[in-house]
Amino acid sequence: MESTWFILVTLMIVAYAVLDGFDLGAGILHMLISRNDADRRAILRSIGPVWDGNEVWLIAGGGTLYFAFPALYAVSFSGFYLPLHIVLWLLILRGMGIEFRAHLSREVAAGLFDGFFALSSGLLALFFGAALGNVIRGVPMGADQSFFEPLWTTLLPWGDTGILDWYTIFTGVFAVIALTMHGALWISLKTNGAIRDRASMVANRTASILGIFTIVGVPLTILARPATVANYLRHPALFVIPAAVIVSLYLAWRWNRGGRELPAFLASCAYIVTALAGVAAALYPALLPSSYGSQFDITIFNAATGSYALRVGFIWWGLGMVLAAGYFIFVYRMFRGKLQQDSIG
Amino acid sequence: MNDALFLHRIHFAFTITFHYLFPQLTMGLAPLIVVLKTLAIRTGNESYNRAARFWTKIFGINFAFGVVTGIPMEFEFGTNWSRFSQLTGGVIGQPLAMEGTFSFFLESAFLALFLYGEKKLSKWGHWCAAFLVFLGSWLSGFFIIVTDAWMQHPVAYTRLPNGSFTVTSFWGLLTNPWALIQFAHNMCGALATGSFVMAAVGAMYLLERRNDEYGRIFLQVGVIAGFLSSMAQGFPTGDLHGKYLATHQPVTIAAMEGLFKSETGAPMVIIGQPDAEHQRIDNPIVVNKVLSFLVYGTTTAEVRGLNAFPKDQWPTNIPLLYFAYHIMVGLGTIMIAVMAVAAFLLWRRMLFRVRWMLWILLLCFPDPYIANTAGWMTAEVGRQPWLVYGLLRTTQGYSANVNAANSLFTLLGYMGLYLALGILFVFIMEREIGRGPAATEVTSIQSSPAVTVA
């Protein structure tokens, strides 16, 4: 049951990354590829009805983590205290930026809120990537299963680790680029005309950079924590995951160039799914490794709650997910297709 | 008091208090919007549809503020109360995860449909979207109340070898009697907020002699719902809640009432300041024997005072608890009186012309906000010194690895951010209420960018 919940929590985080990922990416590009106010509003409209629902995956994922692995939730959230609160502040700024832009009539307010939205989207992508880097690399946690990391430290590879250090900044930038591509493919899927072409061009370029990051990322990760390859060496069949990562990135690039918007976007979804699956496969059964040695890791076994709770949770979780998937399909179908250019309100 | 502990408490108290200003209105407005949509279909009068659209816009703005201030709450258990969440996640993690899984997905999906789908959906389809938003918001409230109720009155749990709690009966947890009573009491409070705000906007329109038609609709719906919810807030839900509290947290009742010594035929203190040091009430105005009657149904029963309990079980801040409780009850009584008079005038078809009553309704809209906040303070300050009543003390629950300075840093951050949010909220509300319902048009996704822009 613990392993099942490892997979389910991973699934929720992956769903969050794929769904909120494209609206974060759209936020990053929001000011960069817009030539005028109409472009900006087109980008906002493309994510307007769905961004809030996408963000619910983060909240539902957090809640699921809390109930299935309370020790992980408690130790990691208090240990990552400062970056987590900064992420929460950014989420507040971002929500304000997108929701309240149209409620204030001054042009200067629209500019300010656009700035909030774009900046917070970019920083969130950076922090989420850095958070993933911290989890992969492990945290300085001993027998008391408690840690508190400084926000940054020397950026030298041989210096102390911190929330932001050479490796986690690398993973942060990696995430920014990946979500930029993802968001660009979404925009090109949902819009027409010049803005679509610019988004497609951005996707084309970021896909190439992402290819380099993906290939460089593997040795850097092994350098940051050699144990990450252990599961792969033990079960070579897992190497199909990195292969799928490369293939889906190639297809996203290829289909984007061919103007096949929906397949390209879906390939980009597959890229994020497989990349995160690759990380999960490297971590299992650890949830948060300790950099002091694997005996101090927080694993699915020492962090899980009682078996009754896990079993009963599985029942309502399954029901809830079927319902949620139903709503999502319904809403995305309702708002499918391209935005109309001629009816800008 | 340990500095870090104090700051972690203020941190949670501040963020949750600010957050709850928004959900109490959305949970209160959601059923009223369903009522307006129903009236629109039944009467065929387009004004009800416009009224529903106007309140949906207000709902949407409050919903968005509720979302952005609510996300930190889900994470603060872990950041600031890590030992508490490590020990209790196996129980209260369930309702918290269920809130995300069952309420937020429902609410966010159907709010988008409700706001943008009016052209695409049939009128009953649109009604259903409104109803599902209402259902989602009330479910969300229920799961939060289940969480709080377990901290107030732990049921259906066992301890694992590592000392943490885990749930033993799913239905036992969800049907905690405390949760059911508290939910009924709390939702009456939310409905009162929605009704008072709706009535106040209606009263303002009539006082300004504009949007008359909508002003009358708002007053009609707001006053009827406000009267019913204020009444039910006191009796039966408040009464039941008090009696249940007296059974399970008798020391809390004693502190709330400022009853330092056990008494038969105990009096109820209406006004007065509790002096914890000398164990007496200063400047008291009391009504004899009422407390015994309220708690036990007879004027002669003995009510146990604080002296009947060991001091280490006493709530840690008796004056604050006492005042929070008295403010809740006092304002609750005023709310019933105001709505009773307004409902009488409405029944006699005089309300729309009686300007002094319109003024009172306009000025009373903060009452339920304050009463609801004071009510929650009563519940949570009254729970002290426990985090989980009788099982885990507040001193044992905070994040020991997060020092006072870090907690203060983020607390100040939230204060600054929420000050900006508060100012923004006032601006936006003023603008939307000023524009009025006549300006609302059916919107589709093609014409507006964000969730709240209806």
Asked if A317 lies within 8 A of B93 by C-beta distance, the reply is no
At B449 the pLDDT is 45
Instruction: Judge: B108–A321 Cβ closer than 8 Å, yes or no.
Output: no
CB contact under 8 A, A146 and B400: yes
3-state secondary structure of B265: coil
- The answer to whether the CB atoms of A67 and B446 lie below 8 A apart is no
pLDDT in tens, A151-202: 877 777 766 777 888 889 999 999 999 999 999 999 999 888 888 899 999 9
Report the gap between the CA of B38 and the closest CA in chain A (Å).
Answer: 23
A102–B448 C-beta distance less than 8 A? yes
ipTM of the complex in this document: 0.89
Distance CA(B441)–CA(B429), nearest Å, equals: 18
Looking at the partner chain, which of A55, A70, A308 has a beta carbon nearest the beta carbon of B89? A70
With left for phi above 0 and alpha for psi between -120 and 50, is residue A329 left, alpha or beta?
alpha
Q: Determine which of A13, A327, A333, A341 to mutate to test the interface with B (most B C-beta atoms within 10 Å).
A: A327
Q: A243 vs chain B: nearest CA distance in angstroms?
A: 33
Residues 6+ apart with CB under 8 A from A205: none
pLDDT for res B99: 92
pLDDT at A345: 33
- Percent of chain B at pLDDT > 90 equals 67
Nearest CA distance, A295 vs chain B (angstrom):
17
Whether the CB of A1 is below 8 Å from some CB of chain B: the reply is no
Q: How many helices (H) and strands (E) would you count in chain A?
A: 13, 2
Q: Do B101 and A317 touch (CB under 8 A)?
A: yes
Query: Which pLDDT score, from 0 to 100, does residue A340 have?
Result: 66
pLDDT at position A159 is 66
Number of domains in chain A: 1
Residue A340 located in a structural domain:
no
| Amino acid A344: pLDDT | 38
Question: pLDDT tens digits, residue range A85-140?
Answer: 999 999 999 988 888 887 777 778 888 888 999 999 999 999 999 999 999 988 88
Closest CA to B381 of B328, B332, B320: B320
Contacts of B166 in chain A (CB under 8 A): 305-306, 308-309
**The pairing of beta strand B157-159 with beta strand B165-167:** antiparallel
pLDDT the model gives residue B320: 94
Contact B449, A101 (CB under 8 A): yes
pLDDT of residue B302: 85
> Which of B101-115, B135-149, B162-176, B353-367 is least confident?
B101-115
Band (pLDDT 50/70/90 cuts) for residue A38 is confident
Mutate one of A8, A54, A77, A299 to test the B interface: name it (highest B CB count within 10 A): A77
Minimal Cα–Cα distance from A58 to chain B, Å? 9
Contacting residues of B for A92, CB less than 8 Å apart:
68-69, 71-72, 417, 421
Q: Is the pLDDT of residue B255 over 70?
A: yes
Nearest to A89 among B86, B98, B413 (CB): B413
State pLDDT tens for residues B228-245. Answer: 999 999 889 998 998 899
Asked if residue A343 belongs to a domain, the reply is no
Asked if A305's CB is within 8 angstroms of B86's CB, the reply is no
Cα–Cα distance for residue pair B204/B438, rounded to 1 Å: 15
Cβ within 8 Å, pair A81-B443: no
The pLDDT of B424-446, averaged and rounded, is: 78
Average pLDDT over residues B110-137: 88
Number of other residues whose CB lies within 10 A of the CB of residue B424: 18
A60 and chain B in contact, CB less than 8 A = yes
Tokens of B171: 């239905």
Contact A24, A124 (CB under 8 A): yes
Nearest residue in A to B428, CA atom? A103
A341 pLDDT exceeds 60?
A: no
Q: Please list every residue in chain A whose beta carbon sits closer than 8 Å to the beta carbon of residue B431.
A: 103-105
Q: How far is A147 from chain B (nearest CA, A)?
A: 7
Alpha-carbon gap: B453 to the closest alpha carbon of chain A (Å): 7
Contact A70 B93 (CB under 8 A): yes
Partners of B406 on chain A (C-beta within 8 Å) are 81-82
Point out which residues pair with B281 in neighbouring strands: B274
Q: Over 90: is that where the pLDDT of B1 sits?
A: no
Range of the domain at A27: 2-334
Q: ω before B437 within 30° of 0 (cis)?
A: no
pLDDT at A69: 92
Residue B452 has pLDDT above 50, yes or no: no
Residue B51: its pLDDT value, please? 93
Confidence of residue B446 (pLDDT cuts 50, 70, 90): very low
The per-residue pLDDT of chain B, averaged, comes to 90
Whole-number pLDDT of residue A108: 82
Q: Of A285, A25, A323, A52, which Cα lies nearest the Cα of A179?
A: A25
pLDDT tier, B440 (very low <50, low <70, confident <90, very high otherwise)? low
Average pLDDT, chain A: 88
Closest Cβ–Cβ partner in A60, A69, A312 for B100 = A60
Amino acid letter, residue A239? F
Q: Which residues of chain A form beta strands (DSSP E)?
A: 286-288, 298-299
DSSP-derived 3-state class of residue B291: helix
Query: Would residue A339 count as lying in a domain?
Result: no
Q: Is the distance from CB of A56 to CB of B104 less than 8 angstroms?
A: yes
Q: Read off the pLDDT band of A41 (50, 70, 90).
A: confident
Q: Residue B406's closest chain A neighbor by CA?
A: A82
Tell me the per-residue pLDDT of B319-330, one tens digit each, with 9 for 90 and over. 999 999 999 999
The stretch A207-222 carries a mean pLDDT of: 92
Among B234-248, B356-370, B439-453, the minimum mean pLDDT is found in: B439-453
What is the number of CB-based contacts under 8 A between chain A and chain B?
Answer: 261
Cα–Cα distance measured from residue B252 to residue A174, given in angstroms and rounded to the nearest whole number: 54
Which of B104, B120, B399 is facing A60, going by the closest CB pair? B104
A303: nearest CA in chain B? B86
Q: Is residue A81 part of a domain?
A: yes
- What is the reported pLDDT for B203? 95
Record: contact A70-B88, CB cut-off 8 A: yes
What residue type is B92 in one-letter code?
Answer: I
Domain assignment present for residue A341? The answer is no
- Quote the pTM value: 0.92
Q: How far is B123 from chain A (nearest CA, A)?
A: 16
For B162, nearest residue in chain A (alpha carbons): A302
User: In terms of pLDDT, which residue wins out, B135 or B450?
Assistant: B135
Residue whose tokens read 């066992």: B158
Q: Which residue of A has its CA nearest to B399?
A: A78
Distance from CA of A61 to the nearest CA of B (A): 8
- Comparing A233-247, B222-236, B415-429, B435-449, the range with the smallest average pLDDT is B435-449
Output the six-digit token pair for B111. Answer: 């709010």
Q: Render pLDDT for A263-314 as a digit per residue (tens, 0 to 9).
A: 999 999 999 999 999 999 999 888 898 888 888 888 898 888 888 989 999 9
Q: Is the pLDDT of residue B221 over 90?
A: yes
